[in-house]
Amino acid sequence: MVKPTILLKRIYDEPASTDGVRFLVDRLWPRGISKERARLDAWLKEAAPSDELRRRYHHQAELWTEFRERYFKELDANPKALDPIREALKRGPVTLLFAAKNAELNNAAALRDYLLEHPTK
């Protein structure tokens, strides 16, 4: 089985032809970005961490492991939220868009890990 191509990109970065299907996976719309500039295929709020989890974590690196565990439980409880991403991955690359400044420790990175560890649910 071919490993799916899941790219991560800040929504503030320019879209590229290699992005494939572009999904915003933040619960809140990013500041200063118009829908036209975002050029995304869908905004998957339900695939983002809950407001409670987002507020608790707030990009604190020391809470990363706990954040991932709690976020994965939320994703386990709502597998349908990931259906659009899984369907798109059958056709080609997917880019998960996020607003966080930290490109490595953010919900999109955790979501990519979850999708790679749980290709189907």
Residue 10 burial by CB count (10 A; 0-12/13-18/19+): exposed, middle or buried?
middle
Interatomic CA distance for residues 76 and 72, integer angstroms:
6
Read off the pLDDT of residues 3-49 as tens digits, 9 standing for 90 and up: 789 999 999 999 999 999 999 999 999 999 998 999 999 999 999 99
The pLDDT score that the predictor gives to residue 9 is 97
Predicted pLDDT of residue 29: 96
Helix (H, G, I), strand (E, B) or coil at 88: helix
For residue range 49-64, what is the model confidence (pLDDT) as tens digits? 999 998 888 767 888 9
pLDDT digits 0-9 by tens, 87-110:
999 999 999 999 999 888 999 999
pLDDT at position 21 is 98
